[in-house]
Amino acid sequence: MNKKTNSGLKMICFNRKASFNYFFEDLIEAGIVLKGSEIKSIRDGKISIADSYAVEKKGELVLINSHIASYKQASYSNHTPDDERKLLLNKKEINKLIGKIQREGFTIVPTKMYFKKGKAKVELAIAKGKKQFDKRAVKKSRDWNRDKARYIRKSS
All domains in the chain, ordered by first residue: 3-130 (2.40.280.10)
* Range 133-154 average pLDDT: 89
pLDDT of residue 149: 92
Q: How far is CA 20 from the centre of its chain?
A: 13
The whole-model pTM stands at 0.77
3-state secondary structure the chain: CCEECCCCEEEEEECHHHHHHEEEEEEEEEEECCCHHHHHHHHCCCEECCCCEEEEECCEEEEECCEECCCCCCCCCCCCCCCCEEEECCHHHHHHHHHHHCCCCEEEEEEEEEEECCEEEEEEEEEEECCHHHHHHHHHHHHHHHHHHHHHHHHC
Residue 91 has pLDDT above 80, yes or no: yes
Over residues 56-65, the mean pLDDT reads 90
Q: Give residue 1's pLDDT.
A: 54
Query: At 6, is the pLDDT very low, low, confident or very high (cuts 50, 70, 90)?
Result: low
Confidence of residue 62 (pLDDT cuts 50, 70, 90): very high
Residue type, 47: I
Amino acid 144: pLDDT: 92
Structure confidence at residue 40 (pLDDT): 87
Q: With pLDDT > 70 as the criterion, what percentage of the chain qualifies?
A: 96
Whether the pLDDT of residue 17 is over 60: the answer is yes
Q: Please, are residues 106 and 54 in contact by the beta-carbon 8 Å criterion? A: no
- Residue 5 in this model has a pLDDT that exceeds 80: no
Characterize 111-130 residue by residue with b for buried, 16 or more Cβ atoms within 10 angstroms of its Cβ, and e for exposed: bbbbbeeeebbbbbbbbeeb
